Chain A
Amino acid sequence: MIYREAGQFKTTYRADQAVFPILQDRIAILLILAVAFIGVPALASDYLFLAILIPFLILSMAAIGLNILVGYCGQISLGTGGFMAVGAYAAYNIALRVPELNLLIVFLLAGGCAALVGVLFGIPSLRIKGFYLAVATLAAQFFLDWLFSRVGWFTNYTASGSVTAPQLKFFGYIVHAPTGKYLLCLCLVTVAAVVAKNLVRGRLGRSWMAIRDMDIAAEIIGIRPLQAKLSAFAVSSFFIGVSGALWAFVYLESWEPLAFDINRSFSLLFMVIIGGLGSILGCFLGAAFITIMPIFLNQVPAALGIPLSTATVSHLEFMIFGALIVFFLIVEPHGLARLWAIGKQKLRLWPFPH
């Protein structure tokens, strides 16, 4: 297909402000949605759903949340795992104590709880930046880890500290087949992506990016750093909280606090860096990369007749991530999403170099 925008004139500002102003992009996104909503459920195996697609979708949502904070507002956070845990335990407790509540509302409330906690831990960002903020959010991570493993109320005083999510029941209909779970996550992630895109391209998103790029100038324009930063923490933690609830209820089903430890925070940070800071598409690319790579490393060498031990694979994984992070931070801070954009730009002009 030829990727050209010649002849497509935007006659209104409204058309120019669309998320996908170019016709070919609109067609592509519709195709992707059709495949995701119709093709995949018809064709994919249970393994694909449970091991790849569902974690991919849920982590994409968490990455969207984190990217709002880090990529759009420029506030570093190492507490993502902790905020996911807040969502998970909030959902668990709400569902436990108010069993008649619709699960969708439970998830939203869980996001709300995470947003509140996020704002609380975001307050130091008004005073400190960069490295010091990273340490402060790290403290949040450790505090939340501690809270959920030590304070029995959150786990309903289960002896092992491990809790089990209730059945996934929506409007009297129980979702337990992998396809159903996949579609549930897909719907929620699609909504999350649309909402996030709307926010970042509008007034709120501009105030976040202004704070990120030059906080002094932002304040002189009339942006209140307090509002901008805390709203970024709130929106970001909301998405992260909902994704935590989904991770617990849909993917893990039963879990212990370790599921949301510092490794989760790091892996999400890697996703947004590799995928692309300040890009919603990048969240999906990064999440796909990080979910698929370990599986790829597991299967491809074996298929080629070079069997690698599990230990080697996990070492390799770390090495590859490390190298990629360094590469992207130095060479292309906007990650895979930027490489994609550059590719598209080249395609637009192809075969002429200019």
Chain B
Amino acid sequence: MQRTRPVGDVLLKVDDITLSFGGVQALSGVSFDIRKHEIRAIIGPNGAGKSSMLNVINGFYHPQQGQITFKGQTRKQMRPHEAAAQGIARTFQNIALFRGMSTLDNIMTGRLLKMRSNFLFQLAWTGPAEQEETRHREFVEHIIDFLEIQSIRKTPVGQLPYGLQKRVELGRALAAEPELLLLDEPMAGMNVEEKEDMCRFILDVNDEFGTTIALIEHDMGVVMDLSDRVVVLDYGRKIADGTPDHVRGEQKVIDAYLGVSH
């Protein structure tokens, strides 16, 4: 794979993260890093703690122990909207779109953090408020073109088929122009064709916008094709970390996956 932007320095580093819910130990002492411009996969059997890890990274869960360093700044915890303001966006394993709103409005909402016109201009829909609306609309239309969802622009997302909803959700995350994009099983439940489209979008996002991506995925073929490096979790612990080829050969990984059907 030829990439226009080489993998750079460490963008995010999680260090010794431990998270438990009552008696359930979701993560125990997990450490790894994500480098700029890379596609980093997080894999593991069901219940391994993958989603929990993303939730920790974007401030939705607060770990009992450990530290997160993002863009050189170390923190223990933050609110999700603060993480968003710092440039972390994500999609969810179970689609979390705004069902009552159109595709366009969903993606426009993804740009909310970039809009700051004054309340008085907003209520009159003039001046800076209107210009801002048009400017962001243009940007959002680029995303719509990019994801090839022009025809469903004005459709309430609740009415869309599953595969398209996943695409809109990616669009909403992209609208924030994130530095780090967290994708939780973006291809789950898709057919082969939809998966191929989604793979193409992910690669293009990474390549054209230089977005760093952390990706949870069960489909090993996809993981091998897309990712630069892979973290493997099992029962909340990291059991392997490295290039796809390296990880695939590790005995621990093979054991973890043995007997687990996907």
Inter-subunit contact B124/A219 (CB<8 Å)? no
User: For residues 1 through 27 of chain A, which have their beta carbon under 8 Å from a beta carbon of chain B?
Assistant: 12-14, 16-17
Q: Which of B60, B108, B113, B117 contacts A222 (CB 8 A)?
A: B113
Interface centre among A13, A221, A223 (most CB of B within 10 A): A221
User: For residues 62 through 95 of chain B, which have their beta carbon under 8 Å from a beta carbon of chain A?
Assistant: 79-81, 83-85, 89-90, 92
Q: Which of A201, A213, A219 contacts B80 (CB 8 A)?
A: A219
Q: Which of B98, B134, B137, B172 contacts A209 (CB 8 A)?
A: B98
A348 to chain B, nearest CB (A): 13
Question: B115 near A: Cβ within 8 Å?
Answer: yes
Inter-subunit contact B137/A13 (CB<8 Å)? yes
Output the nearest chain B residue to A71 by Cβ-Cβ distance.
B100
| A201 partner residues in chain B, CB cutoff 8 A | 125
A199 to chain B, nearest CB (A): 6
| B11 partner residues in chain A, CB cutoff 8 A | none
| B113 partner residues in chain A, CB cutoff 8 A | 221-222
| B240 partner residues in chain A, CB cutoff 8 A | none
Interface of A is mostly: helix
B140 to chain A, nearest CB (A): 9
Question: B122 near A: Cβ within 8 Å?
Answer: yes
A201 to B92 CA separation, bound complex (whole angstroms): 26
Q: Which of B99, B105, B129 contacts A206 (CB 8 A)?
A: B105
Question: A214 near B: Cβ within 8 Å?
Answer: yes
A202 to B119 CA separation, bound complex (whole angstroms): 10
Inter-subunit contact A221/B110 (CB<8 Å)? yes
A278 to B101 CA separation, bound complex (whole angstroms): 11
Question: A195 near B: Cβ within 8 Å?
Answer: yes
| B123 partner residues in chain A, CB cutoff 8 A | 195, 198-199
| B133 partner residues in chain A, CB cutoff 8 A | 17, 202-203
| A13 partner residues in chain B, CB cutoff 8 A | 134, 137-138, 141
Q: Which of B83, B101, B138 contacts A213 (CB 8 A)?
A: B101
Question: A315 near B: Cβ within 8 Å?
Answer: no
Inter-subunit contact B112/A223 (CB<8 Å)? yes
Question: B176 near A: Cβ within 8 Å?
Answer: yes
Number of B residues with CB within 8 Å of any CB on chain A:
40
Question: A325 near B: Cβ within 8 Å?
Answer: no
Inter-subunit contact A198/B58 (CB<8 Å)? no
A189 to chain B, nearest CB (A): 15
Inter-subunit contact B109/A206 (CB<8 Å)? yes
Interface of B is mostly: helix
| B60 partner residues in chain A, CB cutoff 8 A | 216, 220
| A219 partner residues in chain B, CB cutoff 8 A | 79-81
Inter-subunit contact A203/B115 (CB<8 Å)? yes
B130 to chain A, nearest CB (A): 7
Inter-subunit contact A278/B100 (CB<8 Å)? yes
Output the nearest chain A residue to B82 by Cβ-Cβ distance.
A222
Output the nearest chain A residue to B172 by Cβ-Cβ distance.
A221
A202 to B127 CA separation, bound complex (whole angstroms): 13
B135 to chain A, nearest CB (A): 9
Inter-subunit contact B81/A224 (CB<8 Å)? yes
| B79 partner residues in chain A, CB cutoff 8 A | 219
Binding site for A on B (CB under 8 A): 58, 60, 79-81, 83-85, 89-90, 92, 96-101, 105, 108-110, 112-113, 115, 117, 119, 122-125, 129-130, 132-134, 137-138, 141, 172, 176
Q: Could you name 12 residue pairs across A and B whose Cβ atoms are closer than 8 Å? A: A203-B133, A206-B101, A206-B112, A207-B109, A209-B100, A214-B97, A214-B98, A220-B58, A221-B110, A221-B172, A223-B81, A223-B109
19 more contacts with CB within 8 A, not counting A13-B141, A207-B109, A209-B109, are: A12-B134, A13-B134, A13-B138, A14-B134, A17-B137, A195-B123, A198-B123, A202-B122, A204-B119, A210-B112, A212-B98, A214-B98, A217-B96, A218-B109, A220-B84, A221-B110, A221-B112, A222-B81, A223-B81
Nearest first, the 9 A-B pairs at minimum CB distance are A222-B84, A213-B98, A217-B96, A198-B125, A222-B113, A13-B137, A220-B80, A219-B80, A206-B109
